[in-house]
Amino acid sequence: MTSNATTRRVRSNVFDRWHTRDALGADDVKCKCRSVDRKPSTRHGVGKRYTARYVPEFGGAPISKGFDTKAAAEQWLSVQMASVVRGDHVAPDRAAITVSTLAETWKAGLTSRTKSTARSYESVLAQHVLPRWSGVRLADIEHGDVVTWIASLTSERDLAPSTVRHVHVVMRMILDLAVRDGRMPRNPCDGVPLPRARRATQRFLTRAELARLVAAADHLAGEREVAQRAGKRVEPVAIEQDDDGQNVIPAGEPSVDGLMMRVLALTGIRFGELAGLRIECVNLDKRRLSIRASVSEVSGKLEWSDTKNHTAREVAFPSSLVEPLRAQIGDRTGGELVFPSRSGEPVRNPAWSKRVFKPAVELAQLAPLTPHDLRDTYASLAVHGGARVKTLQRQLGHASAAMTLDVYAGLFEDELDSVADALDVE
C-alpha cells in the first residue's frame, strides 16, 4: 500500500527535446530523424535529444538528466523511480560533494575515539584514501571502482594485508556517514573482497620463562642503580653460563621494572592501563585493580583516554602481588601513579621497552617479545588455570566474549578434548 502511494506521488516523463508536440503539416519539411512525424524544435541536433525528468516527492524540485536515446532515458528513469519507492532515493545535489569534503565532517566526529586511534585513522586518510578519492564526487563512486582500488593496494603498492584492511575500514566509515546523511543509497565499500590478514604469532611464556624474565629485569635494574649512584658508567657484571649454554642470572633485589612485568603477565591489563594506574584504583584487601583510564605516547606527547572499549572494569590479581604492590605504594595515596617515571610522569611504552624490556628479554635468552606478549601470557596462564571465556573477557576488557574467542581460539582447543572425554564418563 505504501509503495503504491509513493508511486502515485512520483511524476515522471521522457521528453524529446529535438521535436515539438506539433504534427508535421503538409508544407513542413521533415527532419532526418527516422519515424518522427513531428516538427523539429529550435534546438534540433543540439545536445542530448532526450531528457528524463521526475519529481521525487510532492512539492519537490524536478530532477532531470539528458540522454542520447529514449531507451537509456527510460532505463535511468526506471531506476530512479524504483529508488524513490524503496525509500533510498538520493537527489543528485546531495551526492555532489567530494570525498575530501565529507572526510572533514567525518574527522570532526572522531572525538569519541582515543587520540591514538584518531591519529591512526587520519594518517590512513591522508596517505591512502585522499590521494585516490579526494576530488571524486560521491555520485561517481561505483562498487567496482572500490574493488579495483583495494586490489591495487596489494598488487601495485605492495601494502600488507592488515594495512589494506585498515584502509578499507577508513573508507567504509566515511561512506557510512554518506549513507546516514542521505547522500548515498548504499555503501559501495560493502562486499569488497579483502586480503586475508595474517594473524600475528602469539607468544605465551611459561611460568618458568616469566620468572626468568623478571629475574633478568631485577638484575639489570640493580646494575642501573649502581651506575646512577656512582654517577658514571659501571662495567656490567660478567654473566656466566651453565652447561646447557643458559645464562646464569645473578640474584637481584626485587625491582619496579620486574614488578611491572609481573603485573602485566598476572592481570592481563594493557601497558597503557598499567602506566595510567593510580593508587586510589588499587584495593589490596579485595585484590582488585580498577581500570578506568589509559595513557599512551602519541607523536611524542602523552595522551590520556578512556579504556579501549570506553568501559571501566575491575581486574583481579593474585595474592603473590599484594605485598609487592603494598611496598611499591608505600605511604603514597590518592591520585598518584602506582608506577611513575623518574620525572613523575606515566612510563612511556617505547622508551621502557627499549631501555628495560628488550635488554631483560635478551639476558633471559628468550625469543623476541613485546610487553603486549605478557597480556597474551596472562590469557594462556588463565585458560590453563580453568578460566572461562566470559571471565577472561571481563579481565582483559574485550568488547565481547566472541572477540576473546577470536583472539585466543587456540588456547581453548584442549577444552574440546576435555568435553569429549567427559561424555565417556558413565
- Mean pLDDT, the chain cut into blocks of 10 residues (426 residues total): 44 80 77 75 87 76 85 86 75 86 94 84 95 94 96 91 94 96 91 84 92 97 87 81 91 96 97 97 97 89 84 95 97 94 94 97 95 95 90 92 86 67 64
Q: What is the pLDDT of residue 2?
A: 42
What is the tens place of the pLDDT at every residue in 66-121? 899 889 998 888 888 877 777 677 777 778 899 999 999 999 999 888 788 888 99
Report CA-CA distances (Å) from 35 to 30, 32, 43: 10, 9, 19
- Which is nearest to 273 in space by CA: 259, 261, 290? 290
What is the predicted pLDDT for the residue at 137?
A: 94
Can you give 87-124 as a three-state secondary structure string?
Answer: CCCCCCCCCCCEHHHHHHHHHHHHHHCCHHHHHHHHHH
Closest CA to 342 of 334, 333, 352, 332: 352
pLDDT at 8: 43
Quick one: fold of 207-412?
Answer: hpI Integrase; Chain A (1.10.443)
**What gap in Å lies between CA 36 and CA 259, rounded to an integer?**
91
Convert 177-204 into a string of H (helix), E (strand) and C (coil). HHHHCCCCCCCCCCCCCCCCCCCCCCCC
pLDDT at 27: 74
For residue 152, CA distances in Å to 12, 141, 159, 161 come to 41, 16, 9, 12
Give the pTM: 0.69
Provide the H-helix boundaries in 207-357. Answer: 207-230, 256-267, 271-275, 322-329, 349-352
Q: Which three cell numbers stand for residue 77?
A: 528513469
Strand partners of residue 291: 313
- Per-residue pLDDT, 130: 96
